[in-house]
Structure 1
Amino acid sequence: MSAVDDLNVRERLDAPAHPAGDSAELSGRLLLVLIVLLVAQFMLAVDFSILNVALPVIGNGLGFSLGNLQWIGTAFALSAAGFTLLFGRVADLFGRRRLFLTGLALLGAASLAGGLATSPTILIIARVAQGLATAAVTPAGLSLLTTSFPEGPLRDKALGLNGALMSAGFTTGAILGGVLTDLLSWRWAFFINVPVALGVLLIAPSVIKESRPQTRPKLDLPGAVAVTLGLLSLVFGLTRAGQRTWGDPTALLTLVLGIVLLVAFYFVERRAAAPLVPVAVLKRRTVIWGNTAGLIAFLTETSLVFLMTLYLQDVLGFSALAAGLSFGVLGLGTVIGGSTAAKVIARTGTRSTLVIGGLLQAAATASLLGLGESHSFLWLLLPATFLGGIGNMFVIVGFMVTATSGLPDQEQGMATGLATMTQQIGITMGTPIMSSIVATQTGGLTTAHHVLDGVSLAVLVNAVLVLIGVLATAFIHSRRKQPGAAV
């Protein structure tokens, strides 16, 4: 793509998506396609958080040691984040519908195996398989969505609904995990995926058309190996640092190795005949700042849920289930934000939506600095998380629109793979960073007062990170308006 083309793309992102009187209606086959894809993405989002509340019960039921319990989450995160960019490109080359359906079948089988697991080993293998399925289905499903809907109001609306349901899925997972574990068994946190996956598998082949190139270039194996191992090392290092300390030698070594491999990936792509991710795409400003905004959005909001969980349970004394139910207002905010984001983009442009959403999220997060040790402060937490959810969803939808704009259909799997990778890394980074801030501030003391001090400091850092994202977006926006600015 030329500099002029890239400039035109960025001008379209700044401009309103369509005149105020226009409408973007979904009907017929497109509506059915959207429903199928959204159901799959919602299920994947639920799967991210559904086991969090159930972990102690699973550990007791299967005989996990306390030190090994974290591998239930780590095994999933490693495979989900490590393979997402590779599978995004595989979807472009070998068929998006094929990979989407294959991933769903694997997810259903892995979920059944996890629910029937009789030992820690079987459960960990099932979680790795669930992560691989997520790494395949998420970019394949997103690229099917972006190629099914033309760039503009319809795609913005579809991405907004997708983002809303994904965020609502994270919240639903936390609530549903507690309900299923308390009323039935932790095994139902796995089993619930099976009928949903089966239903989508039965309907999708007759609804979704295959999408693949007429001529298929060779897969860039050196690039695939470098980026996959780099992401695996990076995610493992981040997870290890969160579990131990940021000075842990293993965490530091794997983080450095991950960075080295990702740098090597960049140089491999510069020389590859058919690169996994063309360097020209990596250099595009819309890709850079769009993914940066997305990284900050996922890092801050998912880690804020962790911080507010600490506050509700360790300061106010809520049960795990009551704490999960308290996030229902956050889920409502994300649904409203996602369903209205396309309208905001249509009226103000994508960059303005990113800035508006970031400012709203930053202000809502900063207001949580006023939390205290009384239950009466719940009336501050609930509206703040509600408004923060709306703002965060504006940013996430703006990020997805930006990260997939101006690219041909044959590169949409790669673009959504990059966006999904950004999402996974943001989710993985957030909790270790914020938990280390809390631990440093509390000094190992667990009284309500000390936990509140640690949570408050982490909330301040969280709000500052959101504000940095807003300022970066505004800065790049102002540079775009300068004549002759580099593209």
Structure 2
Amino acid sequence: MSTTDQSVVAPAAAGDRLDGRQRWLLVLLLGAQFLIALDFSILNVALPDIGTGMGFSPENLQWVVTLFALSSAGFTLLFGRVAEIAGRRNVFMGGMVVLALASLTGGLADSQTVLLVARVAQGLGTAAVAPTAMALLTTSFPEGPARQRALGLSGALLSAGFTTGAVAGGLLTGLVSWRWAFLINIPVCVAVLAVAPGLISDRSRGGRARLDVPGAVTVTGGLLALSYGVTSGGHEGFGSTTTLVSLAAAVVLLGAFWAVELRQEQPLVSLRVLARPTVKWGNLGGLITFTMFSAVIFLMTLYLQQVLDYSPLVTGLAFGLQGAAAFFAGLLAGPLISRLGGSRVTLVGGLVVQSAVTASLFLVGADRSWMVLVLVATTVGGFAHVLSVVSFMVTSTSGLDDEEQGLATGLATLTQQVGITLGIPVMSAVATARTEALSGRTPEQAMLGGTTLALLVDAAIVLVAAVVIGLALRRVAPRAAAATD
């Protein structure tokens, strides 16, 4: 019986307690995770004001988001491997320095070029911090209740960061200036850098590993091409030449990456680890929940502002309940995983609930009385989403040695970032196509028709994925349970 099979879904032994140093380390790593999540969402509400203030044309404004997504998703696996060579603490702290400097540059930017360079640098800092913070977390807490509790809090802060970003973006933009959406990061970065050296004990391999250069080049290029192709598809259409060429390049480069990894002594991605059912299907669950729920938040943001005509501030505040539900889901996820029989059950259950509440939003109409349904659905959906997030992280990182945690957490982080990158443009393309088909109606009715169709497609994808993942992991669960009898 493999360790992976035993650890995926079986409740771990009770009695794991966090000592004082572990608690402070957890606070440190959660602060970093919160900052990363904040960066993904804080500028979304502020984009119109950034466009006005910096003179971006409507077609070029999307690059403020796209360049961040490209650099953060494209370089995650590379930096995860670099951390195995240079040391996780070194890469973590270096990434925080880059985030602080990039945020300062973005907040003080006096031209479009400087602002966009700052966004690329923020993405690179995120690509360095996210996988190393997660690897430090999983290697610092023993597998079982302690790690489940840590991952639950991480999931809570991750979702809270997204929600806080939306709320803070609306507040800062409405009350002060969009520049504070950048500058607010700096105190967090400084605080993390001040306490990190005394708390982080790096147990990664350091200089004994070698960097797989061909693998790094092909996977980074492939992820950049994939992210750009999907993002381009959301803006130009998935039949455009740019989109098709980018997606074709992604297929070629990622195929080359797979071939390279089969022949490497020290591959960037161990295909043996990737082939484990828990890693493979756990990450698929993570990809689905991030892709589809980020799309739901995006679609509901458009609905609230363009159909119900709420201000950015009210729109941001409307997601406050969802953030609170997500936070409590993170706190309860560990005990629920143990009580309900393991992470497979909670992963699939979370996806099913997420699908159901997303489908319910198909009913929304064009008057403000539907705000009640929006609040209820996004609140329940936020709880289910974070339960799925924590379950996917527990599933995909369990049963692995410390030397394999860098890869596992790098893949989990990549899953999150690619999911967030893919969901919005894909569902936006569905909504846009339907909106254009309804061009004979009023703009509000056309937008509503596009939004509700995209929500229905979103719900269907999540439900199908839940069924597939549940069936795929079904054979793992009985073996894991038997192993603990």
- Normalised to the residue count of structure 2, the TM-score between the two structures is 0.95
AA in 1 matched with 2:463 = L
Matches within 5 A, 1:218-297: 218-297=210-289
Question: Where does residue 355 of structure 1 map in the other structure?
Answer: 348
Q: How far does residue 11 in structure 1 lie from its aligned partner after superposition? A: 3.6
From 461, 471, 474, give the equivalent of 1:478. 474
- After superposition, give the CA deviation of every residue in 1:288-308 in whole Å (9 maximum; x if it has no partner): 101100000000110000111
Q: How far does residue 122 in structure 1 lie from its aligned partner after superposition? A: 0.7
Q: How far does residue 16 in structure 1 lie from its aligned partner after superposition? A: 2.2
Question: Where does residue 447 of structure 1 map in the other structure?
Answer: 443
Matches within 5 A, 1:453-464: 453-464=449-460
> Any conservation in 1 of the 2:6–2:399 contact (CA below 8 Å)?
no
Question: Are residue 308 (structure 1) and residue 303 (structure 2) matched?
Answer: no
Distance 1:381 1:54 in 2: 22
Q: CA RMSD in A?
A: 1.5
Q: How far does residue 200 in structure 1 lie from its aligned partner after superposition? A: 0.7
Question: Where does residue 10 of structure 2 map in the other structure?
Answer: 15
> Any conservation in 1 of the 2:281–2:473 contact (CA below 8 Å)?
no
Matches within 5 A, 1:90-169: 90-169=82-161
Q: Report sequence identity in percent.
A: 52
- After superposition, give the CA deviation of every residue in 1:292-333 in whole Å (9 maximum; x if it has no partner): 000000001100001111211122111111111111111112
Question: Are residue 190 (structure 1) and residue 186 (structure 2) matched?
Answer: no
SS at match of 2:59: coil
Higher mean displacement: 451-460 or 36-45: 451-460
Question: Are residue 431 (structure 1) and residue 424 (structure 2) matched?
Answer: yes
> Any conservation in 1 of the 2:100–2:190 contact (CA below 8 Å)?
yes
> Any conservation in 1 of the 2:285–2:465 contact (CA below 8 Å)?
yes
Distance 1:103 1:124 in 2: 18
Q: Evaluate the alpha carbon distance shift between residue 425 and residue 211 of structure 1 in structure 2; reply closer, same or farther with a 3 A threshold.
A: same
Question: Where does residue 337 of structure 2 map in the other structure?
Answer: 345
Q: How far does residue 406 in structure 1 lie from its aligned partner after superposition? A: 1.5
Distance 2:83 2:132 in 1: 6
Distance 2:143 2:232 in 1: 40
Question: Where does residue 65 of structure 2 map in the other structure?
Answer: 73
Question: Are residue 331 (structure 1) and residue 309 (structure 2) matched?
Answer: no
Matches within 5 A, 1:403-442: 403-442=396-435
> Any conservation in 2 of the 1:92–1:414 contact (CA below 8 Å)?
no
- After superposition, give the CA deviation of every residue in 1:205-246 in whole Å (9 maximum; x if it has no partner): 111112221661211111000100000100011111111101
Distance 1:91 1:214 in 2: 8
Distance 1:161 1:181 in 2: 29
- After superposition, give the CA deviation of every residue in 1:74-102 in whole Å (9 maximum; x if it has no partner): 11111100000111111122211110000
> Any conservation in 2 of the 1:366–1:460 contact (CA below 8 Å)?
yes
Aligned residues: 475
AA in 1 matched with 2:467 = L
Q: How far does residue 183 in structure 1 lie from its aligned partner after superposition? A: 1.3
Higher mean displacement: 39-48 or 447-456: 447-456
> Any conservation in 1 of the 2:86–2:206 contact (CA below 8 Å)?
no
Matches within 5 A, 1:168-179: 168-179=160-171
- Note the residue ranges of structure 2 that are not aligned, 5 or more in a row: 480-485
Distance 1:311 1:60 in 2: 22
From 464, 467, 478, give the equivalent of 1:468. 464
- After superposition, give the CA deviation of every residue in 1:434-459 in whole Å (9 maximum; x if it has no partner): 11111111216362222221111111
Distance 1:51 1:355 in 2: 32
SS at match of 1:273: coil
Higher mean displacement: 243-252 or 50-59: 50-59
Moved over 4 A (4+): none
Q: How far does residue 431 in structure 1 lie from its aligned partner after superposition? A: 0.9
Q: How far does residue 66 in structure 1 lie from its aligned partner after superposition? A: 2.4
Q: How far does residue 23 in structure 1 lie from its aligned partner after superposition? A: 4.7
> Any conservation in 1 of the 2:366–2:445 contact (CA below 8 Å)?
yes
AA in 2 matched with 1:329 = L
> Any conservation in 2 of the 1:17–1:345 contact (CA below 8 Å)?
no
Distance 1:394 1:324 in 2: 23
> Any conservation in 2 of the 1:92–1:412 contact (CA below 8 Å)?
no
Question: Where does residue 390 of structure 1 map in the other structure?
Answer: 383
SS at match of 1:50: helix
- Note the residue ranges of structure 1 that are not aligned, 5 or more in a row: none
